[in-house]
A = this chain, B = another copy of it.
Amino acid sequence: MAVPSGRHFLQIPGPTNVPDRVLHAIARPVIDHRGPEFADLGAAALGALKSVVRTRADLVIYPASGTGAWEAALVNTLSPGDRVLMFETGHFSTLWARMARSLGLEPEVVPGDWRSGADPAALEERLSRDTGHAIAAVAVVHNETSTGVTSRIPEIRAAMDRAGHPALLLVDTISSLGSVEYEHDAWGVDVTVGCSQKGLMLPPGLSFNAIGAKALEASAAGGMPRSYWDWAPMLEAGESGYFPYTPPTNLLYGLVEAVGMLHEEGLERVFARHRRHAEATRAAVRAWGLEVLCRVPEEYSPVLTAVLMPEDKGADAFRAAVLERFDMSLGAGLGRLSDRVFRIGHLGDLNDLTLLGALGGIEAGLRLAGVPHEPGGADAAARVLADAPPR
């Protein structure tokens, strides 16, 4: 379909659809990043992010992708050779571990099946064995974007506490923040890593670290050689609303607007909406007779659903057909799941009818591509949505 009409359906698990209000905010003229107006903007942006991360602790914003905030979390708190315990929940946890190794750390990876989250019991067991406290940090991906599995951070924290282990807890909320319940302070997280282009409904290019007191101490005492990612000058400048180098002004405009929208809807309602859409999506998948990748119901992701293809059918050909004919982008299988799953993003600025359109398009695409399935998936989703309580 060379020149499509209407709006592209961007149903990947991020970047997500940016609301017009946010696009308009981003399109405002740039201002002097050393002037008084910027100080107000910088303070508003920090406050906005803290209200979503649910913290009163420190927070620094980087002009960078989320990957940069991964790096920042590591280089500020850990020293070369430090051991980090990581969980193989999927492709992104694997990349984070690879980054740790590149930076000179010693990642120790708890193996996983890519169909479930970080295992609190395994963590407790491992930490209990680490009597010498060789493990400097535990790093967990809250919502694994490659599999559609959401790890249970409070249980992870509880396991660490039970083990009485002093390791720092670093949590990647890249694809959960703003879509799934998250509590930096209440859950006892030391460093939260997040970015703009998922639940925060912004274009990519802005990422951040929320920094608990223990992490800040670790940073002051050690860390690696660093400059761009260094928390110290960021925090110093940030106290007056400024940045130590040129800030991403236009994304900050958008951040303030987008977080304002989240609060207008109400964070609780936002989270409930994501759960409802995930449930409707799983209802469709089951009606089609296909299998959801995540095999632990209490870890079903509210933000995306990865769907296993029937054995002999390639997911990528199916996705290509859907893109070509129905102008919809679905997420690809990544890493070891390549061509085996397709991922349906249902996060960010989304509503019931767009989700129904997406599911209708998947059903039409399954038919078009000759993938064996039962019809009625979109119908099943519509029933879930019609029968959901009013909000």
Contact B205 A63 (CB under 8 A): yes
Residues A197 and B353 in contact, CB atoms below 8 Å apart: no
Answer yes or no: A190 CB below 8 A from chain B CBs. Answer: no
A378 to B228, CA, bound (A): 41
User: Which B residues touch A251, using CB under 8 A?
Assistant: 203, 205
In whole angstroms, how far apart are the Cα atoms of A135 and B275 in the complex? 59
Question: Is A47 in the interface zone, CB < 8 Å from B?
Answer: no
Q: Which of B4, B15, B29, B32 is in CB contact (< 8 Å) with A246?
A: B15
**Contacting A349 at CB < 8 Å: which of B5, B228, B325?**
B5
Contact of A360 among B203, B353, B387 (CB under 8 A): B353
A26: chain B residues at CB < 8 Å are 26-27, 250
Total interface residues on A, using CB and 8 Å?
104
Tell me the nearest residue of chain B to A319, going by C-beta.
Answer: B35
Taking the complex as formed, is A379 at the interface, i.e. its CB lies under 8 A from any CB of chain B? yes
How distant is the Cα of A67 from the Cα of B16 in the complex, in angstroms? 28
Q: Check if B248 sits within 8 Å of A65, measured CB to CB.
A: yes
A sample of 18 cross-chain residue pairs with beta-carbon separation below 8 angstroms, ordered by A number, consists of: A3-B266, A5-B273, A8-B31, A17-B30, A23-B29, A30-B203, A33-B204, A63-B63, A65-B246, A65-B247, A99-B227, A103-B226, A197-B246, A327-B351, A352-B364, A353-B357, A353-B358, A353-B360
- Contact mask for chain A residues 1-31; partner B; CB cutoff 8 A; 1 contact, 0 none: 1011111111010111110100110111111
Q: Is the CB of B30 within 8 A of A204?
A: yes
Cβ–Cβ contact A227 & B353, under 8 A: no
Listed in ascending order, the chain A residues whose CB lies under 8 Å from chain B are: 1, 3-10, 12, 14-18, 20, 23-24, 26-36, 62-68, 71, 80, 99, 102-104, 195, 197, 203-206, 224-228, 230, 245-251, 261, 264-266, 270, 273, 323, 325-329, 332, 349-361, 363-365, 367-368, 375-376, 378-379, 381-383, 385-387, 390-391
For A355, what are the chain B residues with a Cβ–Cβ distance below 8 Å?
357
Contact B225 A104 (CB under 8 A): yes
Within the complex, which residue of B14, B32, B361, B383 is in contact with A353, where a contact is CB–CB below 8 Å? B361
